[in-house]
């Protein structure tokens, strides 16, 4: 079959209104319209071509990124794009660049930690891109006193950086503070005196994150003007006197709360992209199982394929909704901070840290699983999956190593539990800890498989598991005379308790989403199926936790798995429509296996011939190396 829509028969099976689901996925009709318009704008502009990335040398790749960034900026100004539209444009250009750190960290750091006066001075320059900034926190070795190492945009482009360093006045160390530091001349871009700066070298994968100039930075007797210390949290007077505002010191880390929140939203994008590719290809691919000479089985009909693919599809939706909620939480905490209410900052920190950890880990693993779900073709760069994996996987490390972040969540949970004794009622995502006595002894009320479809049953099982794991950690910790020693010794268990808590948040936010009014034929029902798949998949995967804490019985675990299989069958006819609802253009997907029309094989065949290696029939190097070897063998054989 040539041309046409090879997936049309699959699209006809959908039991819901795909156009309505697109609005739900985008968040609102307005968000959908912006996203749809900008994605088409990028896809139709040859300046944003990206299929050649894996073939380019590092220097060509990097120069190409600079060209795209400058062109994108020009288009943003010409078309008078709003911030929302510009950030969608960045998203669909789909190429990490120094601009990410400028807009995503440098500007937010000044907004969050600079005084009004500092903001008035620096923000207009940064907004007009008259200066370009990065965010320099991480060190090569340890300690905020060696060399900065890793900051994106630092290596070759940034003119300025927010640098985190120890503040010492009168011989007293006041800990880490943020400083705006000019790095390069605004005239000829050369490093300023005392500054050594460069790129740290090639990173994992071809193309991928190598479009970014992650950098190294050293200072030798560099003087930073006093008014370039970010002074919202603490100040140094002209006389060198150190003082602190009436705000928590933790605000110094506020930029990370903001960025981690965006990383959670981004996880749903990366995962949905991989899932879209794997789902479409699984419907196109037929392998074995032919009966009476009929067509072979579509691999998407194999239960094993479904049990690997559909939980990822459900996770993409789950991460989308928890990301939406996290954005709300971040906006709420920001408004409170402006009104000097700091009460929800610890929760915002724990939620952003924990959800960043969980969603990036699941997404990185999920992309790799999608590659395997596509068989051998998934390993071709033209599948789009190798580059997506290479570009995505550092998300498990940047903005805080995922394990380190889970330990932050664990500290928050232990603290919450310890405050119960003094009568402090937990709120927000830890409100369930207020019912800890009930959760410690409740029994799951599942007698038949369908009982697992009740939101209250699922929620109670997840709450009980999380509460019991945290309480067990707290009890074990209390046996240590030195709490820090105890924390280190039990860190493995604490990480698992933190994971249980964060999974509960994602499940509960999906359930809350379903309580809203969701228009469109069949849309809510499909989301209900996905929500149950997500929850029961987690329950099945972590059944050891649920069983060992006595939250469910072995029979109930068995029934959950039985229900999960039934849910896969319900999702099957809707699978293609559920990935169509992401509304990704073929340009954005960048994958032959995932193309909208499913016409995979002719495109793969054509693409192979475009590889530079096929430019000539006899490759470079043949005459030099292979021909003499063949001749030698021939001579030996004749002897
Ligand atoms: C194409 C061109 C187009 C142009 C388009 C223009 C428009 C574009 C528009 C937009 C584009 C935007 C794109 C955005 C994309 C962003 C890209 C992101 C890329 C990622 C780059 C990566 C950057 C980095 O990695 S930066 C470095 C991050 N480093 C870390 O995360 C380190 C991890 N470690 C920690 O977090 C540690 O906690 C610590 C180092 C912060 C502190 O450690 P320590 O001093 O030991 O303190 P600790 O005991 O842990 O904690 C003390 C108390 O503080 C509390 N706490 C800790 N962290 C926080 C926090 N973040 N917030 C609040 N509170 C915090 C902690 O709970 C303790 O509290 P307690 O009450 O005392 O217990
Ligand atoms: C692509 C990329 C882009 C980046 N961009 C920036 C940037 O723009 N600006 C910037 O400042 N930084 C940036 N970083 C740096 C990044 O933030 C750090 O790499 C990250 O915070 C992890 O720190 P680390 O590398 O020191 O790892 P380490 O802390 O050395 O971690 C190594 C291992 O030790 C474990 N470990 C560490 N501490 C503990 C602990 N307390 N308890 C238990 N286990 C522990 C970790 O789990 C991990 O397995 C970037 C990194 C990457 C990969």
**Cross-strand pairs, 172:** 169
Task: Verify that 212 and 289 share a domain, yes or no.
Answer: no
CA distance 591 to 89: 19
pLDDT at 293 over 80: no
Task: Verify that 286 and 373 share a domain, yes or no.
Answer: yes
CA distance 545 to 539: 9
pLDDT of residue 2: 52
- Residue 485 maps to a domain: yes
Which listed ligand is nearest to 96 at the C-alpha?
1
Show the tokens assigned to 40. 């088409």
Tell me which residue has its CA closest to atom 72 in ligand 1: 250
Task: Verify that 222 and 276 share a domain, yes or no.
Answer: no
Of 564, 580, 596, the residue at which a domain comes to its end is: 580
Residue 351's closest CA among 401, 403, 397, 409? 409
Most confident option among 246-250, 294-298, 346-350: 346-350
* 138 assigned ligand-binding residue: yes
CATH number at residue 175: 2.40.110.10
pTM of the model: 0.97
Atom of ligand 1 nearest to the CA of 86: 7
507-553 per-position pLDDT tens digit? 999 999 999 999 999 999 999 999 999 999 999 999 999 999 999 99
pLDDT at 638 over 80: no
- Residue 44 maps to a domain: no
pLDDT of residue 1: 44
- Residue 16 maps to a domain: no
Atom of ligand 2 nearest to the CA of 164: 11
- Residue 197 maps to a domain: yes
pLDDT of residue 251: 87
Ligand 1 within 6 A of CB of 269: no
129-181 per-position pLDDT tens digit? 999 999 999 999 977 668 999 999 999 999 999 999 999 999 999 999 999 99
Q: How far is the CA of 568 from the centre of ligand 2 (A)?
A: 38
Tell me which residue has its CA closest to atom 10 in ligand 1: 87
Share of the chain above pLDDT 90, in %: 91
Lateral strand order in the sheet of 148-149: 148-149, 215-219, 195-199
Tell me which residue has its CA closest to atom 46 in ligand 1: 408
pLDDT of residue 248: 87
Average pLDDT, the chain: 96
Q: How far is the CA of 424 from the centre of ligand 2 (A)?
A: 34
- Residue 57 maps to a domain: no
Task: Verify that 210 and 323 share a domain, yes or no.
Answer: no
Helices 554-571 and 303-338, axial angle in degrees (round to 10): 100
- Tokens 């498989």 locate to 449
Residues flanking ligand 2, CB < 6 Å:
101, 135-138, 150-152, 209, 214, 394, 397-401, 403-404, 407
Ligand 1 within 6 A of CB of 257: yes
Ligand 1 within 6 A of CB of 253: yes
Query: What totals of helices (H) and strands (E) does the chain contain, helices first?
Result: 24, 8
* 198 SS3 class: strand
Q: How far is the CA of 399 from the centre of ligand 2 (A)?
A: 8
Tell me which residue has its CA closest to atom 48 in ligand 2: 401
* Whether the Cβ atoms of residue 55 and residue 607 lie closer than 8 Å to each other: no
Ligand 1 within 6 A of CB of 158: no
* Whether the Cβ atoms of residue 213 and residue 202 lie closer than 8 Å to each other: no
pLDDT of residue 148: 97
Residue 639 banded pLDDT, cuts 50, 70, 90: low
Helix (H) or strand (E) holding 216: strand 215-219
pLDDT at 209 over 70: yes
- Residue 244 maps to a domain: no
Q: How far is CA 428 from CA 344, 416, 425, in A?
A: 9, 12, 10
Active-site residue set: 399
Helix (H) or strand (E) holding 244: strand 242-244
CA distance 78 to 371: 39
- Residue 484 maps to a domain: yes
Q: How far is CA 543 from CA 254, 305, 499, 530, 547, in A?
A: 36, 21, 14, 19, 6
Q: How far is the CA of 139 from the centre of ligand 2 (A)?
A: 9
* Whether the Cβ atoms of residue 520 and residue 328 lie closer than 8 Å to each other: no
Ligand 1 within 6 A of CB of 568: no
Ligand 1 within 6 A of CB of 137: yes
Find the domain containing 565 and state its range.
253-580
* 147 SS3 class: coil
Task: Verify that 144 and 281 share a domain, yes or no.
Answer: no
Q: How far is the CA of 256 from the centre of ligand 1 (A)?
A: 3
Atom of ligand 1 nearest to the CA of 93: 1
Atom of ligand 2 nearest to the CA of 142: 26
Helix (H) or strand (E) holding 350: helix 345-373
Show the tokens assigned to 271. 């995962």
Sign of CA dihedral 554, 560, 563, 569: negative
Task: Verify that 222 and 260 share a domain, yes or no.
Answer: no
DSSP class of 224: P
Ligand 1 within 6 A of CB of 98: no
* Whether the Cβ atoms of residue 414 and residue 430 lie closer than 8 Å to each other: no
pLDDT of residue 485: 97
Task: Verify that 311 and 204 share a domain, yes or no.
Answer: no
- ipTM of the predicted assembly exceeds 0.90: yes
Task: Verify that 276 and 309 share a domain, yes or no.
Answer: yes
Ligand 1 within 6 A of CB of 513: no
| Mean pLDDT, rounded, for 441-447 | 97
CA distance 549 to 552: 8
Task: Verify that 203 and 271 share a domain, yes or no.
Answer: no
Task: Verify that 469 and 338 share a domain, yes or no.
Answer: yes
75-115 per-position pLDDT tens digit? 999 999 999 999 999 999 999 999 999 999 999 999 999 99
- Residue 325 maps to a domain: yes
pLDDT of residue 207: 87
* 304 assigned ligand-binding residue: no
pLDDT at 234 over 60: yes
Which listed ligand is nearest to 409 at the C-alpha?
1
Task: Verify that 298 and 401 share a domain, yes or no.
Answer: yes
The burial class, CB within 10 Å (0-12 / 13-18 / 19+), for 334 is: middle
CA distance 313 to 578: 8
Task: Verify that 227 and 261 share a domain, yes or no.
Answer: no
CA distance 173 to 234: 13
| Mean pLDDT, rounded, for 186-194 | 98
Which listed ligand is nearest to 397 at the C-alpha?
2
CB atoms under 10 Å from CB of 249, counted, come to: 14
59-75 per-position pLDDT tens digit? 999 999 999 999 999 99
Q: How far is the CA of 448 from the centre of ligand 2 (A)?
A: 46
Least confident of 98-112, 249-263, 488-502, 582-596: 249-263
Of 197, 231, 265, the residue at which a domain comes to its end is: 231
Ligand 1 within 6 A of CB of 152: yes
- Tokens 């207020």 locate to 434
- Considering just the CA atoms, what is the radius of gyration of the chain in Å? 27
Q: How far is the CA of 105 from the centre of ligand 1 (A)?
A: 10
Tell me which residue has its CA closest to atom 2 in ligand 2: 398
Tell me which residue has its CA closest to atom 26 in ligand 1: 399
pLDDT of residue 4: 82
CATH number at residue 284: 1.20.140.10
Atom of ligand 2 nearest to the CA of 402: 47
CB burial of 24-56 (b: ≥16 within 10 Å; e: otherwise) equals bbbbeeeebebbeebbebbeeeeebebeebbeb
Of 527, 547, 580, the residue at which a domain comes to its end is: 580
Q: How far is CA 567 from CA 264, 268, 307, 528, 532, in A?
A: 26, 21, 10, 10, 8
The total number of structural domains in the chain stands at 2
270-290 per-position pLDDT tens digit? 999 999 999 999 999 988 877
């Amino acid at each position: 079959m040539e041309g046409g829509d090879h997936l049309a028969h699959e699209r006809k099976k959908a039991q819901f209104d795909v156009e309505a689901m697109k609005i739900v996925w985008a968040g609102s009709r307005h968000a959908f319209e912006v996203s749809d318009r900008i994605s088409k704008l990028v896809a139709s502009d040859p300046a944003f071509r990206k299929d050649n990335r894996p073939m380019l040398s590092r220097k060509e790749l990097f120069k190409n990124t600079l060209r795209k960034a400058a062109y994108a900026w020009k288009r943003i100004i010409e078309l008078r794009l709003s911030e929302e539209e510009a950030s969608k444009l960045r998203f669909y250009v789909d190429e990490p660049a120094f601009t990410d750190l400028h807009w995503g960290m440098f500007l937010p750091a000044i907004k969050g930690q600079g005084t009004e006066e500092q903001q008035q001075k620096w923000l207009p320059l940064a907004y007009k891109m008259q200066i370009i900034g990065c965010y320099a926190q991480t060190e090569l070795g340890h300690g905020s006193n060696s060399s900065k190492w890793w900051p994106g945009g630092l290596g070759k482009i940034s003119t300025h950086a927010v640098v985190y360093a120890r503040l010492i006045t009168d011989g007293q160390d006041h800990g880490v503070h943020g400083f705006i530091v000019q790095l390069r001349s605004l005239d000829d871009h050369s490093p300023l005196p005392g500054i050594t700066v460069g790129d740290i070298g090639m990173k994992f994968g071809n193309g991928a994150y190598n479009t970014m100039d992650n950098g190294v930075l050293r200072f030798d007797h560099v003087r930073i003007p006093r008014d370039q210390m970010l002074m919202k949290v603490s100040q140094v007077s002209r006389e060198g006197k150190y003082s602190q505002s009436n705000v928590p010191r933790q605000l110094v880390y506020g930029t990370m709360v903001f960025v981690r929140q965006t990383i959670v939203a981004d996880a749903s994008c990366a995962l949905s992209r991989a899932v879209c590719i794997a789902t479409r290809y699984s419907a196109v691919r037929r392998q074995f199982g032919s009966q009476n000479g009929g067509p072979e089985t579509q691999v998407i009909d194999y239960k094993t394929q479904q049990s690997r693919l559909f939980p990822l599809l459900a996770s993409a939706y789950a991460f989308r909704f928890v990301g939406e909620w996290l954005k709300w939480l971040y906006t709420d905490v920001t408004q409170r901070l402006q009104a000097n209410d700091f009460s929800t900052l610890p929760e915002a920190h724990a939620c952003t840290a924990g959800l960043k950890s969980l969603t990036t880990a699941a997404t990185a693993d999920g992309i790799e699983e999608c590659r395997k779900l596509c068989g051998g073709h998934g390993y071709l760069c033209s599948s789009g999956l190798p580059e997506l994996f290479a570009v995505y996987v550092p998300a498990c490390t940047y903005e805080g190593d995922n394990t380190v972040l889970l330990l932050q969540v664990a500290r928050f949970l232990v603290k919450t539990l310890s405050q119960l004794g003094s009568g402090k009622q937990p709120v927000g995502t830890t409100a369930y800890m207020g019912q800890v006595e009930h959760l410690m002894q409740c029994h799951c009320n599942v007698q038949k498989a369908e009982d697992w479809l009740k939101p209250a049953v699922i929620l109670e099982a997840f709450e009980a598991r999380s509460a019991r794991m945290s309480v067990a950690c707290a009890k074990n910790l209390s046996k240590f005379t030195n709490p820090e020693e105890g924390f280190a010794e039990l860190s493995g268990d604490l990480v698992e308790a933190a994971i249980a808590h964060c999974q509960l948040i994602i499940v509960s936010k999906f359930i809350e989403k379903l309580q809203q009014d969701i228009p469109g034929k069949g849309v809510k029902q499909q989301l209900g199926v996905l929500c149950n798949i997500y929850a029961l998949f987690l329950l099945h995967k972590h059944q050891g936790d649920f069983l060992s804490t006595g939250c469910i019985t072995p029979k109930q675990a068995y029934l959950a798995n039985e229900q999960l299989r039934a849910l896969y069958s319900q999702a099957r006819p809707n699978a293609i429509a559920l990935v169509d609802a992401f509304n990704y253009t073929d340009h954005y997907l960048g994958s032959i296996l995932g193309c909208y029309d499913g016409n995979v094989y002719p495109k793969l065949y054509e693409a192979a011939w475009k590889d530079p290696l096929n430019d000539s029939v006899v490759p470079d190097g043949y005459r030099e190396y292979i021909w003499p070897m063949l001749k030698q063998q021939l001579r030996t054989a004749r002897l």
